[in-house]
Amino acid sequence: MVTHSFYESDNRVLRYAESLAERGDHVDVLALRRSASLPRTQTINGVRLHRIQDRFAKGEGSRWSYLWPLLRFSAVTSKWLATPRKDRKYDLVHVHNIPDFLIFSAWPARLRGSRLLLDIHDIVPEFFASKFNADEQSRLVRGLKLMERASGAFADHVILANDLWLPKYTARSAAANKCSVFINYVDESVFRPREHRLQSRDPLIVFPGGLQWHQGLDIAIRAFSRLVRDLPTARFHIYGDGSAKTGLEELVQRLGLSDHVKFFDPVSLGEVAGVMAGADIGVVPKRADSFGNEAYSTKIMEFMSIGVPVVVSGTTVDRHYFDETVVRFFESGNDEDLANALREVLTNQTLRESMVQRAREYVRRNCWSQHRSRYLQLIDALIDRP
């Protein structure tokens, strides 16, 4: 597996890799190293992790500062795969975007007969247009669409992260029979149901994830400034990193919320489950007028699985998968409506209990254990193994 991410925090890659290792497959993962204290090579739950490139801080201020580490990682991956290692021949290389062109780094394995699987976590042209405020008709975005098509053609099969992207992707980049959909199904062995009691004195709201503009954290902070007028002991904890972090910290200062809103570094998948479990309510405030409108958020199902009620922006993708019985929607971009939703869920015990119960039923039908076999069957079909 090849991923330009921190393996320990990427639940999608973790879920695939550990499922394969659990049944006896040999799995190597090429990924990033978060800090100098981490070893270059490490075995985690049967998966051999190779941290082939360091990323101790994010530098996403410009398009070039964003692109350069991706190009470096692609080159290092190609070199790693081109170097003979005990004559090992991989049956399959599973490449995770972003970027799409990372699939081409697997050319040495392709020459040795490996099948290539491209996993579209985020659909790149739309993501890039939102991230850097680029016009969708610009030459750069049109170029990304051409790259998407070329990447899809180079892969033997393509996985997409939600159903909304399937018709869009197949219309411009790959045949429908070459594509499958696997959303970010929650791993119930990590995100287990836990009992929760509302902390009436100091209610805690939690957001764990990337701090980019499309995630809408500034909306959530403004909503929280309204909420503390009625619940002055409320707290808001934000776990994550990203290009919007500095601006969010400045917004907290301007609103006089420094005693209430705290920022924390990203944590591993196992640690984030504990962070979520300590919350009274989760919030997912994505912008509907951005890439976030069609980007499925794993955080929703993770909160639901643990037993924490979650307030969610009414984006197209989230209304496609959820309804008001399992989450509390608010009008995207409306901080007043978000504040009202948070207040209602925090103060209405009957509503909280109903949401938690219905959410657990939903998770039981849609967790990873219900879809794991479908992924393994896809892998075996690609490598022509009975």
Residue 194 maps to a domain: no
Domain check: are 271 and 349 in the same one?
A: yes
Domain check: are 345 and 279 in the same one?
A: yes
Domain check: are 307 and 354 in the same one?
A: yes
pLDDT tens digits for range 59-98: 555 666 778 899 999 999 999 999 877 556 899 999 999 9
Structure-token match 């090992």, residue found: 88
What is the distance between the alpha carbons of residues 375 and 233, in angstroms, rounded to a whole number?
45
The pairing of strands 310-313 and 235-239 is: unpaired
DSSP assignment of 297-320, as one string? -HHHHHHHHHT--EEEE--HHHHH
Domain check: are 329 and 359 in the same one?
A: yes
Q: Are 309 and 352 in contact (CB under 8 A)?
A: yes
Q: Which helix (H) or strand (E) holds 354?
A: helix 349-366
CATH number at residue 42: 3.40.50.2000
Q: How many domains does the chain have?
A: 2
Residue 198 maps to a domain: no
Q: Which residues of 61-92 are buried (b: 16+ CB within 10 A; e: fewer)?
A: eeeeebeebeeebbeebbebbeeeeeeeebbb
Q: What share of the chain is helix, strand, coil (3-state, %, to 5)?
A: 45, 15, 35
Domain check: are 250 and 164 in the same one?
A: no
pLDDT tens digits for range 122-156: 998 888 887 777 777 788 889 999 999 999 999 99
Neighbouring C-beta atoms of residue 289, cutoff 10 Å: 12
Domain check: are 69 and 172 in the same one?
A: yes
Instruction: Name the nearest CA neighbour of 183 among 295, 273, 103, 102.
Output: 295
Domain check: are 44 and 145 in the same one?
A: yes
Domain check: are 350 and 375 in the same one?
A: no
Residue 332 maps to a domain: yes
Which DSSP category does 52 fall into? E
Residue 187 maps to a domain: no
pLDDT tens digits for range 5-28: 999 888 899 999 999 999 999 999
Residue 190 maps to a domain: no
Q: Which domain holds residue 32?
A: 2-182+371-382
Instruction: Name the nearest CA neighbour of 366 among 319, 299, 321.
Output: 321
Asked if residue 197 has pLDDT above 70, the reply is no
Domain check: are 174 and 252 in the same one?
A: no
